[in-house]
Structure 1
Amino acid sequence: MPGDERTTTPRLEQGLSAADVAQRVAEGRTNDVPPRASRTVWDIVRSNVFSRINAIFAVLLAIVLSTGYLIDGMFGLLIIANSVVGMVQELRAKRTLDALSIVGQAKPRVRRGGATTELAPNEVVADDVIEIGPGDQIVVDGKVLAGDGLEVDESLLTGESDPVGKHLGDHVLSGSYVVAGVGAYRATKVGREAYAARLAEEAGKFTLVNSELRRGIDRILRFITFLLVPAGALSIYNQLSGDQALPDALRGMVAALVPMVPEGLVLMTSIAFAVGVIRLGRRQCLVNELPAIEGLARVDVVCADKTGTLTENSMRLAEVHPLGKIEVPPEQVLAALAALDTRPNPSIAAIARDYPERPGWEPTAVAPFSSARKWSGGSFANHGDWVLGAPDVLLEEGSAERDEAERIAGRGLRVLLLGRADGPVDRPQAPGRVTAVALIVLEQRVRPEAKATLDYFAKQGVSVKIISGDNAASVGAVAGSLRLPRSTEPVDSRTLPDAPDHFADAVERTSVFGRVTPEQKRSIVHALQRRGHTVAMTGDGVNDVLALKDADIGVAMGSGSPASRAVAQIVLLDNSFATLPYVVGEGRRVIGNIERVSALFLTKTVYSVLLAILVGVPGLIGMDVLPYPFLPRHVTITGWFTIGLPAFVLSLAPNNERARPGFVTRVMRTAVPAGVAASAACFASYLLAREGQQPNYIDQIHASTAALITLMTVALWVLAMIARPYVWWKWALVAGMAALSALMFVLPLTRELFLLDPGGYTETLVALGCAAVGILLVQLGWRISGRVAGTALSDR
């Protein structure tokens, strides 16, 4: 049977043949979990077309069309606009995410027919033999076939951070990753049977879940729902209980209800996020979780690993510095140790490049490199026991050799100690006493873009902390060359206090940390979070995984380990630290601009609700019923020129202001005073133009036009204030909207089409006078709200 131990064991070294693979594909025993990508085309179409807001507008459109006044149904175009614009942007974002996800996904090394090749995860089949090494993610469940010092971290599944040793016959679970050693395992459970398959499916969807911005908008929409029910009911009662003809009453009712719905708010939010994905995709930045765009805008501390982030991932062997009497040439030992590692890290790879000749020593014990212990080693028959690692870990404090290593590291170089251990390297107490033989000096190249990136964060008020497993002096020298603040005081993490409060104090005042273990990296992130910071962690290695997972935002390099890419919300596929400012900028653009357009949409909702109440109250208390001042066509053009078009432009504009908490409160402090003032001024203009009479058809048009002039003037003022600070295109935007609004009242065609007639100069002056009073009330309301609780959004 396929998968039976007896049929697969004899061929483990070769892996499956092409015929074996074809048989398993035919049987459906494939790893058919969908790749990390966006949702389906149908999901996008369904969510954009069959939305609650579109359903409300469809019902109102049917009511208006039943009256025969087709032009009053222009607001129905919003159904098409909401659907088409949202679908187009999200489909573009889907294409970007799908393409980048394929580029950025982990590719397991699968042994088939005696050869090893990299395959996409969904090409793995049952019984495949998969080779693994440090940093590799376990893509399917399996059983270990071979291992050499193999250690697996299952913290992403179990929460336990201690590595688990894996031996022949042990089970490995998808979602875990290798922290040390090499080996191979046979796939036993693939596809949706694998342990982490369900989690992987959910992780890559195009979603705004856990977004503070989205939660804020949901709160606002719930608040609006409470307002809509009484205001809508009052409007319906008022318009249908008067002596108007039924078609006119229905048009008035629809005109009152349509502007109460903030139809573009959710749409603009989706567009802003989708455009952010597209823009970042052009910079080879994969966003695994969309809230990460928003989250980076809130970041005030960036924790960066040195290697692969500030410096190039590759290294060069600069010098072998002998120490004392040498019995065996260090070059031979280094070549022998390099030959043991089939998946070398950058340090071992640099040594292997310079010493490719293997001495042929027979290994009797191997200790693979681990970020926790910071050394590796090998025991060789007749050639002794050797270790290669951090001098300040392997040597006693105060030794001359360790002091020499510190001096060299102070120049920004990486220094390793080659030493002889006093016993086999696989002993529990290894390495024991180490005799220093030579210092291995490696050079790292600082990334050319690193300084500009650090300068950007400094200007933006974002603190940068360098967290590295390297020697503290070496890390401090690199940070000092980039002029990072407080880089002259690097701290060895082994000296950090254990008490949580003292530990957090030390983390707060320190910028450079050396000799940090993976667990300590996570502790540093936790300490900063407990102090109220929003933390981003950047890294590329398996030693960064724990911190990447627990940081508010995890940013991995595209060339980093599959495990680091799997847990990060953002992957920089171009491996450039300089891309990070653009990611931060996109987050700030999204949040800042959505905050602005939210204020516009909610101002409209507030004045629409209040105006419906003001118009409906006289009928409730026994006075003459007032017809609603506007027709549906009037509220449509008001929405076009004071909210819709400007909001679309502003939602895509640059915005570098750092996000602040209190989104809902700030938006409401802007929208409520503006909405109250606009509704009061509009209602006053309407009453003054009517002069308390029972107007005829022409007089009603005059009164409606006067009220519309007042409303649009105040709304344009709100737009002008929210659009600040000004640049040339914002001046052009506000001036263009004002000009288009004015033309609606001047051109004969639009006056006839939209039933606009302000009457004489007196009515127009009264309307503009009411608008001036409304503008003063808006400014007064903003000033009061600003004094009560800080600066309002409009005061930016």
Structure 2
Amino acid sequence: MTEDLLVQDTPNSGLTAAEVAQRISEGKVNTVPDRSGRSVADIVRANIFTRINALLGTLFVLVAVTGSFINGLFGLLIIANSGIGIIQEIRAKRTLDKLAIVGQTRPTVRRDGVTVDVAPGEIVLDDIIEIGPGDQVVVDGVTVESGALDIDESLLTGEADAVDKAPGDPIMSGSFVVSGIGAYRATKVGADAYAAQLAAEASKFTLVASELRSGIDQILKVITWLLIPAGILTIVNQLFISRSGWRESILGMVAALVPMVPEGLVLMTSIAFAVGVVRLGQRQCLVNELPAIEGLARVNVVCADKTGTLTENGMRLSEVTPAPGNTVSVDDLRKVLAALAAHDPRPNASVAAIAEAYPDAPGWSTTAVMPFSSAKKWSGMSFRDDAAGTDAGNWLIGAPDILLDPDSETARAATEIGESGLRVLLLARTDVPVDAEPAGDTTVPGTLQPAGLVVLEQRVREDARDTLDYFASQRVDVKVISGDNARSVGAVAQSLGLGNVDTSVDARELPTDESELADAVEHGVTFGRVRPDQKRAMVTALQSRGNTVAMTGDGVNDVLALKDADIGVAMGSGSSAARSVAQIVLLDNKFATLPYVVGEGRRVIGNIERVSNLFLTKTVYAVFLALLVGIGGMAAKLFGFDSLSYPFQPIHVTISAWFTIGIPAFVLSLAPNNERARTGFVRRVLTQAVPNGLIVGISTFVTYLLVNPGGTGVALGGDNPVTLTQSQTQASTAALMTLIAVAVYVLAVVARPYTWWKLVLLAISVGAYLIIFAWPFTQHMFKLDSTNWAMNSVALICAAAGIAAVEVTSRVLPRIIAARTA
């Protein structure tokens, strides 16, 4: 497009360097918020000052008052929780920041009469910014130049139709260019721009708006309410009923409260997400919204664009053939194509391939221009031969099946070529300028005369077949949605083992009724001649049937569908508008990266579900055991029996969590896991954790009652009386054996299916506890006494019963739930 066709108010050479410097000094710069949302100081502060740290810190102070610092070992959790959280989130922040710079849109501005690409944060007030198809408007402004400039403002206003912009018209940040070219003057920058706050919020490193996170929040709320009665009952029992002395009472109270706190659950969730960001960053995948990792793991339908996704972005001109009955020579056709390519300021892949094949353009100038748009599927230019001083014709180039009668000889020839997977464009001429108003129902000005067919080769991505095979193996449906000819789309997909030419659907024949459209889209595989509004409608139709839909694309015609899909995935080489609305950007432009993103999401969700089972099992048995001991203590007092104090000291509950939850949970949260995510996270976790927790609590309490009924001070099975302290220690050790044995088995159930490293993890856990209970040094350090085998035998029998109960519930409950939900 030449400068004389631009409608402009005044010539605009842009700001000078001095004017730019002045505006920067005055703060009139488009300051962009930190991509990752939180500074290092904010990250440190947020990970240290948490409710869990405050609770554990308070309990640690109480233990410190008693002077038993070994029982305060759980205080190290504060350091571990904060340190690990800080390190992982800072790593994720740095990864996001680096990738954000690589994938950042760089607007073109005029300064000192030349165009330069700058970062969005370097735009200043009154900058002249050039825009073309696919460009996003980064700041608010006023149009100063327009060459058939059409702006889509649907992301801001909801209005579906593009708006034509003339000089003097306002232009809002967050909108994007559909067709044409132009320039605008920045009138509002930084926080003053219309879409600045929305864009900043969408780019933050955040853990909100995910089913996983909201589910954990719901669980924590329930736990908080359970802690209140259990804590009060424990305090009353320890201080006023058991009469164990203030030091013993405090230690017993803290021992009961500490395991009720799921101190690692939120931490493990944060770590899993943060590590996911780092891992994806290593594959050049930018996660604009963190919950997208989780969302993509739930996807069961992927809508993929053909060009740039299944095929490579670049094309190669294969041949130019005259249309049947055409009177224009091949040489003249090549001259016209060279002129069309030379005068296109924003060439797409097809025009770029033509320009590469025919670089020597004739000395023609344009007298009228009609830019390409996805809606009409063609573009055109009217030329004048400057040397001869005569018109050089009005030429259109576009989709043959849109411009021609499908029964015409030229259309049939184009269809036959397209069925081999090649891309075919029609070169035609009209008898009126290309910007003239079309007559009647046609979208073409004047009378169309076919001149030739332009055949382009599209190279299928080498990794496309493996990617599609992966999705098929994971029961994820792939729908190919393209603006190209339906049979051509079907041919490309068929070469990859997806659908076939005959079943490919022409979107012009799709029903408009929502229910009928949903049926058609669910049953179809490949779709051609899809308009941008249809892509959006097809995504919505799939969602209406309960599908979780991911949309991949790179062009301006994909923006609306990308935004409405559950997960939008854009290619890094795509338009800035597509990248801005997508939750995930594949900076390496590889469709094959998508399975890794899906796998990472599945790893995060599946592992957090397993980890949640462990932590919530501990919380349930801690609360239940505290209630049993509290109620039992009051009942004993009421009926005149000896009091019943809490069986454990804080150090006991600390070591019980080391190898049943702490270390295993950390390993499991980072392990491979490729199970497809399902909804109902809270229900599944609770239906496993609650029964397991009750079994652990009951087994432990029964053991404690049997080995130390009422605290008589006499060891079972022994001929010699022993002191109360020794008897209590032996009883506590036996109860702890039962608790740990059943808890380890819960870990074994959660770790299924087994792999070699999981078996090693279980072996380490069992071995570590054998050492702790058998080695005199650890027995003394952790206040254990495992010498009373009469008590130990009771503990092992109760543990065996608990293990059997865990195994039965793990097999029976899922079947009952599945039967009820079927």
Q: TM-score range by the shorter chain?
A: over 0.9
Q: Distance in 2 between matches of 1:313 and 1:411?
A: 19
- Asked if the contact 1:37–1:204 (Cα under 8 Å) also holds between the matched residues in 2, the reply is yes
Over 3 Å counting, the alpha-carbon distance change for 1:488 and 1:399 in structure 2 is closer
The residue that corresponds to 1:347 in the other structure is 350
Residue pairs, 1:526-675, within 5 angstroms: 526-621=540-635, 622-623=638-639, 624-675=642-693
- Asked if the contact 1:38–1:98 (Cα under 8 Å) also holds between the matched residues in 2, the reply is no
The residue that corresponds to 1:94 in the other structure is 93
- Asked if the contact 2:749–2:810 (Cα under 8 Å) also holds between the matched residues in 1, the reply is no
Deviation, 1:175, is 0.7
Q: Counterpart of 1:344 in 2: which secondary structure?
A: coil
Q: Counterpart of 1:28 in 2: which secondary structure?
A: coil
Which amino acid is the alignment partner of residue 54 of structure 1?
A: N
Q: Distance in 1 between matches of 2:756 and 2:447?
A: 71
Q: Distance in 2 between matches of 1:136 and 1:337?
A: 21
Q: Distance in 1 between matches of 2:80 and 2:602?
A: 26
The residue that corresponds to 1:326 in the other structure is 327
Q: Deviations over 1:24-73 (max 9, x none)?
A: 11111111122533421122112111001101101111111011101110
Q: Deviations over 1:696-750 (max 9, x none)?
A: 1111001100000000000000001100111111000000011001111111111
Match of 1:683 among 694, 701, 706: 701
Q: Counterpart of 1:78 in 2: which secondary structure?
A: helix
Q: Distance in 1 between matches of 2:501 and 2:725?
A: 78
Q: Deviations over 1:8-39 (max 9, x none)?
A: x9985321111111111111111112253342
Deviation, 1:228, is 1.1
The residue that corresponds to 2:246 in the other structure is 246
The residue that corresponds to 2:436 in the other structure is 427
Residue pairs, 1:14-413, within 5 angstroms: 14-241=13-240, 242-323=242-323, 324-327=325-328, 329-381=332-384, 382-413=391-422
Identity of aligned residues (%): 62
Q: Distance in 1 between matches of 2:811 and 2:482?
A: 49
Deviation, 1:431, is 2.8
Q: Counterpart of 2:552 in 1: which secondary structure?
A: strand
Which amino acid is the alignment partner of residue 583 of structure 2?
A: Q
Which amino acid is the alignment partner of residue 292 of structure 1?
A: A
Q: Deviations over 1:104-132 (max 9, x none)?
A: 11100111112211110000111111111
Q: Distance in 2 between matches of 1:110 and 1:202?
A: 26
Which amino acid is the alignment partner of residue 75 of structure 1?
A: F
Q: Counterpart of 2:364 in 1: which secondary structure?
A: coil
TM-score, L = length of structure 2: 0.94
Deviation, 1:327, is 4.0
Deviation, 1:787, is 3.2
Deviation, 1:762, is 1.7
- Within the alignment, does 1:520 sit opposite 2:534 as a pair? yes
Deviation, 1:486, is 5.2
- Asked if the contact 1:682–1:711 (Cα under 8 Å) also holds between the matched residues in 2, the reply is yes
The residue that corresponds to 2:463 in the other structure is 449
Q: Distance in 2 between matches of 1:614 and 1:270?
A: 34
Q: Counterpart of 2:471 in 1: which secondary structure?
A: helix
Deviation, 1:641, is 1.1
Which amino acid is the alignment partner of residue 451 of structure 2?
A: V
Match of 1:754 among 777, 782, 788: 782
Q: Which moved more, 1:199-208 or 1:513-522?
A: 199-208
The residue that corresponds to 1:473 in the other structure is 487
The residue that corresponds to 1:6 in the other structure is none
Deviation, 1:288, is 0.3
Which amino acid is the alignment partner of residue 616 of structure 1?
A: G
Over 3 Å counting, the alpha-carbon distance change for 1:111 and 1:791 in structure 2 is farther
Q: Which moved more, 1:120-129 or 1:320-329?
A: 320-329
Q: Deviations over 1:196-229 (max 9, x none)?
A: 1111111111111110100111111112122111
Deviation, 1:89, is 0.4
Which amino acid is the alignment partner of residue 326 of structure 2?
A: K
Q: Deviations over 1:263-314 (max 9, x none)?
A: 1000000000000000000000000000000001100000000000010111
- Asked if the contact 1:144–1:183 (Cα under 8 Å) also holds between the matched residues in 2, the reply is yes
Over 3 Å counting, the alpha-carbon distance change for 1:432 and 1:490 in structure 2 is farther
Q: Deviations over 1:441-461 (max 9, x none)?
A: 011111100000000000000
Q: Distance in 2 between matches of 1:108 and 1:229?
A: 56
- Asked if the contact 2:394–2:433 (Cα under 8 Å) also holds between the matched residues in 1, the reply is yes
Deviation, 1:693, is 4.1
Over 3 Å counting, the alpha-carbon distance change for 1:627 and 1:487 in structure 2 is farther
Q: Distance in 2 between matches of 1:485 and 1:369?
A: 30
- Within the alignment, does 1:500 sit opposite 2:514 as a pair? yes
Which amino acid is the alignment partner of residue 303 of structure 2?
A: C
Match of 2:473 among 449, 455, 459: 459
Q: Counterpart of 1:362 in 2: which secondary structure?
A: strand
TM-score, L = length of structure 1: 0.97
The residue that corresponds to 1:704 in the other structure is 732
| Unaligned 5+ runs, structure 1 | 1-8
Over 3 Å counting, the alpha-carbon distance change for 1:16 and 1:659 in structure 2 is same
Q: Distance in 2 between matches of 1:756 and 1:265?
A: 28
Q: Counterpart of 2:382 in 1: which secondary structure?
A: strand
Over 3 Å counting, the alpha-carbon distance change for 1:693 and 1:130 in structure 2 is closer
- Asked if the contact 1:35–1:101 (Cα under 8 Å) also holds between the matched residues in 2, the reply is no
Q: Counterpart of 1:383 in 2: which secondary structure?
A: strand
Deviation, 1:499, is 1.5
Q: Counterpart of 2:559 in 1: which secondary structure?
A: helix
Q: Distance in 1 between matches of 2:228 and 2:446?
A: 76
Q: Deviations over 1:172-199 (max 9, x none)?
A: 1111111101111111111111111111
Q: What RMSD over aligned residues (CA atoms) do the two structures have, in Å?
A: 1.4
Q: Distance in 1 between matches of 2:707 and 2:147?
A: 90
The residue that corresponds to 1:714 in the other structure is 742
Match of 2:496 among 477, 482, 487: 482
Q: Distance in 1 between matches of 2:339 and 2:34?
A: 41
Which amino acid is the alignment partner of residue 87 of structure 2?
A: V
- Asked if the contact 1:35–1:122 (Cα under 8 Å) also holds between the matched residues in 2, the reply is no
- Asked if the contact 2:490–2:500 (Cα under 8 Å) also holds between the matched residues in 1, the reply is no
The residue that corresponds to 1:3 in the other structure is none
- Asked if the contact 1:703–1:758 (Cα under 8 Å) also holds between the matched residues in 2, the reply is no
Aligned length: 784
Deviation, 1:625, is 2.7
Which amino acid is the alignment partner of residue 23 of structure 1?
A: Q
Over 3 Å counting, the alpha-carbon distance change for 1:724 and 1:486 in structure 2 is farther
Q: Distance in 2 between matches of 1:693 and 1:224?
A: 31
Deviation, 1:769, is 0.6
Deviation, 1:432, is 4.2
